[in-house]
């Protein structure tokens, strides 16, 4: 009970902070808004799950934009489609899910729209190269993300061995050229030839042949050692004490907070431009949660370009994000700068979410949203929130509301909110 009260007070403090004061993150966004460049854009994304009970319409025309250098928060009740959205972006939707429409466009070079790549049109080989190297994801449950049979060092090194063989080989070649290298001349020449080939073409026939024959895999030892050395560096960079000892441990040796840090280390190994954090703090206590959020903020400033943060905690959103998208039953209801969302919520669902945040006083009645979340096998027609909405109009039951800009950078999918402009 004490834990929940402490968490409620923390969330309410953050909400009051954004109601009364302009947060620094939003001030930065206001100053830079005209210079923002798109990094990720989804256009009318549709994902369905084909089950024995029927077709679950998990995502219904979801459109959002994540800019370079920003933190975009996706918030909503459990089951509203937040995790399905990011899994659709990464193209890792589990069966029986199918991405059936829309676009997922990334602008990895930070240039204009002509340089964008639609991920839904790319091959699986392209996506394997992209995942972990340019776009990384922190999964909700670290125990499911970590392999219990591999040491921490091997799991972090695996990212380097898969995505950065060229860089590892280039470093080894540089070491072989140094005067302090003690390799015998013929062996040194052979090593140079192998690593030079691997640096240029990691999939070359000779490299694949050596990897298939156990007796000839000796050349990989130096490659593995270099990858583990980089694993030590990334663990130390995250502020984890005694990194040389940590990489020798197995997941069951570590606490929940330490496992989450290791998952973050794996995600950041190749310096991605976009980090997707799917409920990265959901199973942690308040103290560890604050440490993880501070770590993500620091890493965003130093290492990565942008963060797409998935959460149901409005306090985390207020503390961390620049822009926020509110989801309900597979639809994106509202998108705004974080200050505008907390000060001037436009969609009735957003207003209800903010009103449901527990207050300091014990006397205050805990508010909830009336009604139940709809069954997505048979979702309501028109706006999916209209059965629970106190401002529902006739048109809400008949037609799906499209996103409308009610103020600059403030978008809402609501007929009632559009009439209030």
**The most confident of 195-209, 346-360, 398-412, by mean pLDDT:** 398-412
**Euclidean distance between the first and final Cα of the chain, in Å?**
42
User: Are residue 112 and residue 195 in the same domain, yes or no?
Assistant: no
Choose the final residue of a domain: 180, 212, 235: 235
User: Are residue 57 and residue 120 in the same domain, yes or no?
Assistant: yes
Tokens of 310: 């998935």
φ/ψ region of 276 (left if φ > 0, alpha if ψ in -120 to 50, else beta) reads beta
Please indicate, yes or no, if residue 89 is contained in any of the structural domains: yes
Angstrom CA distances, 359 to 14, 16, 56, 345, 375, stand at 11, 10, 36, 18, 31
Tell me the average pLDDT across 353-370. Answer: 76
> What is the CATH classification number for the domain harbouring 115?
3.40.50.300
Q: How many domains does the chain have?
A: 2
Does residue 13 register a pLDDT over 70?
no
Residue 68 pLDDT class (50, 70, 90 cuts): confident
User: Are residue 321 and residue 285 in the same domain, yes or no?
Assistant: yes
Please indicate, yes or no, if residue 407 is contained in any of the structural domains: no
Does residue 383 register a pLDDT over 70?
yes
Please indicate, yes or no, if residue 421 is contained in any of the structural domains: no
User: Are residue 94 and residue 127 in the same domain, yes or no?
Assistant: yes
User: Are residue 136 and residue 164 in the same domain, yes or no?
Assistant: no
Please indicate, yes or no, if residue 390 is contained in any of the structural domains: no
User: Are residue 188 and residue 125 in the same domain, yes or no?
Assistant: no
Residue 215 pLDDT class (50, 70, 90 cuts): low
Mean of per-residue pLDDT scores for the chain? 79
| Strand-pair category, 323-328 with 331-337 | antiparallel
Provide the residue range defining the domain that includes 226.
152-235
Tell me the average pLDDT across 195-211. Answer: 64
Predicted local confidence at residue 201, as pLDDT: 66
- 213 or 154, which is more confident? 154
User: Are residue 75 and residue 224 in the same domain, yes or no?
Assistant: no
Tell me the average pLDDT across 328-338. Answer: 92
User: Are residue 206 and residue 301 in the same domain, yes or no?
Assistant: no
Strands (E), 279-415: 306-311, 323-328, 331-337, 404-407, 410-412
Does residue 155 register a pLDDT over 80?
yes
156-200 pLDDT per residue, tens: 988 888 887 778 777 777 776 766 555 544 556 666 666 666 666
Tell me the average pLDDT across 17-29. Answer: 37
User: Are residue 47 and residue 131 in the same domain, yes or no?
Assistant: yes
Predicted local confidence at residue 411, as pLDDT: 92
DSSP H or E run through 138: strand 135-138
261-294 pLDDT per residue, tens: 888 888 888 888 898 988 877 666 777 777 777 7
Residue 315 pLDDT class (50, 70, 90 cuts): confident
DSSP string across 354-367: HHTSPPS-SSSPPP
φ/ψ region of 282 (left if φ > 0, alpha if ψ in -120 to 50, else beta) reads alpha
Please indicate, yes or no, if residue 296 is contained in any of the structural domains: yes
The pairs formed by 400-403 with CB atoms below 8 angstroms and a separation of 24 or more are: 400/60, 400/61, 403/63, 403/332, 403/335
User: Are residue 70 and residue 164 in the same domain, yes or no?
Assistant: no
Predicted local confidence at residue 203, as pLDDT: 65
Predicted local confidence at residue 42, as pLDDT: 93
Tokens of 58: 């998990």
Please indicate, yes or no, if residue 261 is contained in any of the structural domains: no
Tell me the average pLDDT across 81-93. Answer: 92
Residue 31 pLDDT class (50, 70, 90 cuts): very low
Please indicate, yes or no, if residue 399 is contained in any of the structural domains: no
User: Are residue 280 and residue 141 in the same domain, yes or no?
Assistant: yes
Does residue 300 register a pLDDT over 80?
no
Choose the final residue of a domain: 300, 325, 341: 341
The vertex-327 CA angle with 28 and 275, nearest 5°, equals: 50
Residue 121 pLDDT class (50, 70, 90 cuts): very high
Residue 146 CB: number of other CB atoms within 10 A? 20
Choose the final residue of a domain: 321, 341, 361: 341
Tell me the average pLDDT across 354-383. Answer: 81
Query: Shortest CA distance to 226 belongs to which of 153, 177, 131, 151?
Result: 153
Measured distance CA(292)–CA(150) in Å, rounded: 24
Please indicate, yes or no, if residue 287 is contained in any of the structural domains: yes
Measured distance CA(265)–CA(146) in Å, rounded: 12
Residue 368 pLDDT class (50, 70, 90 cuts): confident
User: Are residue 276 and residue 178 in the same domain, yes or no?
Assistant: no
């Amino acid at each position: 009970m004490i834990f929940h009260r402490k968490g409620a007070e923390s969330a309410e403090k953050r909400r009051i902070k954004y109601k009364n004061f302009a947060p620094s993150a939003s001030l930065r966004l206001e100053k830079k808004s005209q210079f923002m460049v798109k990094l990720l854009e989804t256009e009318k994304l549709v994902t369905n799950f084909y089950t024995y009970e029927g077709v679950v319409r998990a995502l219904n025309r979801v459109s959002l934009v994540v800019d370079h250098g920003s933190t975009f928060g996706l918030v909503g009740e459990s089951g509203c489609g937040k995790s399905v959205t990011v899994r659709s972006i990464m193209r890792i939707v589990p069966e029986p899910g199918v991405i059936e429409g829309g676009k997922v466009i990334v602008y990895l070079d930070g240039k204009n729209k002509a340089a964008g790549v639609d991920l839904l049109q790319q091959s699986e080989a392209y996506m394997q190269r992209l995942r972990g190297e340019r776009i990384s994801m922190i999964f909700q449950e670290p125990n499911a993300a970590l392999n219990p049979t591999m040491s921490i060092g091997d799991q972090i090194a695996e990212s380097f061995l898969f995505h950065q063989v060229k860089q590892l080989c280039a470093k080894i070649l540089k070491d072989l050229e140094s005067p302090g290298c003690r390799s015998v001349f013929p062996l040194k020449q052979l090593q140079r030839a192998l690593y030079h080939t691997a640096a240029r073409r990691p999939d070359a026939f000779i490299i694949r042949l050596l990897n298939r024959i156990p007796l000839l895999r000796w050349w990989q030892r130096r490659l593995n050692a270099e990858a583990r050395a980089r694993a030590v560096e990334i663990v130390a960079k995250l502020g984890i004490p005694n990194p040389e000892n940590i990489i020798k441990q197995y997941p069951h040796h570590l606490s929940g907070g330490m496992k989450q840090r290791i998952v973050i280390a794996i995600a950041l190994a190749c310096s991605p431009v976009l980090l997707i954090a799917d409920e990265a703090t959901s199973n942690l206590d308040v103290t560890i949660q604050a440490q993880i959020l501070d770590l993500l903020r620091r890493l965003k400033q130093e290492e990565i370009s942008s963060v797409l943060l998935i959460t149901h905690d409005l306090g985390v959103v207020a503390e961390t994000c620049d822009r926020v998208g509110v989801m309900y039953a597979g639809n994106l209801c509202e998108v705004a700068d974080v200050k505008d969302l907390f000060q001037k919520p436009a969609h009735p669902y957003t207003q209800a979410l903010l009103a449901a945040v527990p207050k300091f006083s014990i006397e205050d009645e805990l508010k909830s949203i009336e009604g139940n979340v709809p069954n997505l096998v048979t979702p309501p027609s028109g706006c999916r929130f209209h059965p629970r909405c106190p401002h529902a109009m006739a048109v809400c039951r008949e037609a799906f509301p499209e996103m409308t800009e009610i103020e600059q950078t403030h978008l809402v999918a609501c007929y009632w909110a559009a009439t209030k402009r």
